[in-house]
Amino acid sequence: MSSSSSSSKPWGGRFAEPTSKIVERYTGSVRYDKALFEQDIAGSKAHARMLARQGVISEAEAVKIVGGLDIILSDIHEGRFVWKDELEDVHMNIEARLTEMIGDAGRKLHTGRSRNDQVCLDFRLFVSARLEAWSELLAGLVKVLVERAGEHAETILPGYTHLQPAQPVSLGHHLLAYAWMFKRDYERCQDALKRSAVSPLGAAALAGTTFPLDPKSVAEELGLYGTFGNSLDAVSDRDFALEALFVGSTVMTHLSRMCEEIIIWANPNFGYVALPDAFATGSSIMPQKKNPDVAELMRGKTGRVYGALMGLMTLMKGLPLAYNRDMQEDKEQFFDADRTVSDSLSIMAEMMQVMGFRPERMLQALKLGFLNATELADYLAAKGVPFREAHHVSGSAVAMAEKKGCGLEDLTLEELRTLSDKIEADVAEVLKYETAMKRRNTPGGTAPERVQEQRSALKYWLAGL
């Protein structure tokens, strides 16, 4: 039977039989949790310094520990560190190496600490750093959208409801709708940080410890907002990761909706965008194709992030207090979700920067979709025709234009007057798409001046970050 000696394990004291190899592989996490090495080392250094301040270990021992951990840190960075599967996880790998290097002082590092509070600290530091990174990427994307919206404040796009042509809107207005979503996502990241950037160190295994620890000073050294209020909660709470995954899922929802629009707009029947070559691919059999693969994959990858959120919720729902080994399964899903969220945000920002818009195709669609029909109805209503009747007249005008194969604006005044004698020469101005867009100048509306106002508000927000 393949096995490895259990006396080599940090917990080997009570074990006579070695661990079986398959169990070692099944329970081990080092192959993925080594991603936490920076957080693990930062946490251990802060813990060692605190132990010395509290007189639990000597100043000289703390110096040796910190020095040893710094060497390990650079060894890992430079690929010199040897990770051992039989040492189970990142924590035991680093501690074992430290002891190998500095002897007894290394063995004192874990005083007043358990892997239960240690892993939770590492993971909280990691998740918090990623929330900061997502925030930055979100702000970057908002910036790109604000810039592109500036170029297209006056570009007229068919606005849709039910994916049916509805009313003309400014393309800039449409782009800024997403900018506001990503701004809220930024704020969600920052809000989640208030709860994730909190130290659980000092909770030990579950009940606190007999050593005179000072958790507050550790939290301060690590730049965290505060410490736990209850040791059982501290070692078994993963809501910080759930919140981050919810925020990540919401980000992906917004990205995915944007992708869906890019995919629709890139279809030649719409043709509102010309995909930049760098963000599209061709077909191996159909020479005419230019496929929006990047947008499709981003829409698809959204499912992975939702999966991570559902996975962790399901993982947590039946766990009694306090730590349970099930919780080791929290990390891989988060790492995967983080890669997806981070890459998707960077790629979307790059893609939107170079996205080619085609205003001439938007104009064609405005005509085909009779997007000025509401204008005609409103025009008649303003002249005292009851709105229901005005709606009916405008509908008949649409039918007439459809039959002629033209837009409402192409009907002659005489033709229009057969439907209502309230229609006069001034209708021509009203039927212009540009007029329709400009007249919707209520706060937050699509008029170009309101689009510029939104851009100023968003720029002001960006400048204050």
Q: What is the DSSP letter of 284?
A: S
What is the rounded (10 degree) CA torsion for 194, 139, 185, 40? -40
Binding characters for ligand ARG, 116-155, by CB under 6 A (x = yes): x--x------------------------------------
Q: Is 236 in the site for ligand ARG (CB under 6 A)?
A: no
Task: Please enumerate in sequence order all residues whose Cβ is within 8 A of that of 60, keeping only pairs 6 or more positions apart, or say none.
Answer: 105
Q: Considering only 102-110, 113-121, 154-162, 428-436, which stretch makes contact with ligand ARG by CB under 6 A?
A: 113-121
3-class state of residue 29 by DSSP: coil
CB atoms < 10 A from the CB of 321, how many?
12
Q: Is 227 in the site for ligand ARG (CB under 6 A)?
A: no
- For the chain, what percentages of helix, strand and coil (3-state, to nearest 5) are there? 65, 5, 25
CA distance 193 to 191: 5
Q: Pick the closer one to ligand ARG by CB: 19 or 328.
A: 328
* CB 29, min distance to ligand ARG, A: 5
CA distance 347 to 310: 25
* CB 127, min distance to ligand ARG, A: 13
* CB 324, min distance to ligand ARG, A: 9
Q: Which contacts (CB < 8 Å, 24+ apart) does range 278-281 have?
A: 278/354, 279/347, 279/350, 279/351, 279/354
Q: Is 115 in the site for ligand ARG (CB under 6 A)?
A: yes
CA distance 100 to 410: 86
Q: Is 93 in the site for ligand ARG (CB under 6 A)?
A: no
CA distance 372 to 376: 7
Q: Which tokens go with 305?
A: 């992030």
Annotated active-site residue in 5, 8, 20, 283: 283
CB atoms < 10 A from the CB of 363, how many?
17
Residue with tokens 């212009």: 432
Work out the angle at residue 112's Cα, subtended by the Cα atoms of residues 110 and 113, and round it to the nearest 5 degrees: 55
Q: Is 89 in the site for ligand ARG (CB under 6 A)?
A: yes
Residue with tokens 């579950």: 206
Q: Pick the closer one to ligand ARG by CB: 110 or 455.
A: 110
Q: Considering only 38-46, 114-122, 353-361, 369-377, which stretch makes contact with ligand ARG by CB under 6 A?
A: 114-122
By CB under 6 A, the residues from 20 to 39 that bind ligand ARG are 29, 33
Residue 283 appears among annotated catalytic residues: yes
* CB 331, min distance to ligand ARG, A: 6
Q: Pick the closer one to ligand ARG by CB: 52 or 206.
A: 206
Q: Considering only 14-22, 45-53, 322-330, 362-370, which stretch makes contact with ligand ARG by CB under 6 A?
A: 322-330
By CB under 6 A, the residues from 405 to 434 that bind ligand ARG are none
* CB 335, min distance to ligand ARG, A: 12
* Binds ligand ARG by CB under 6 A, chosen from 65, 109, 247, 327: 327
Instruction: Indicate which residues carry an active-site annotation.
Output: 162, 283
Residues that bind ligand ARG (CB under 6 A): 29, 33, 89, 115-116, 119, 323, 325, 327-328
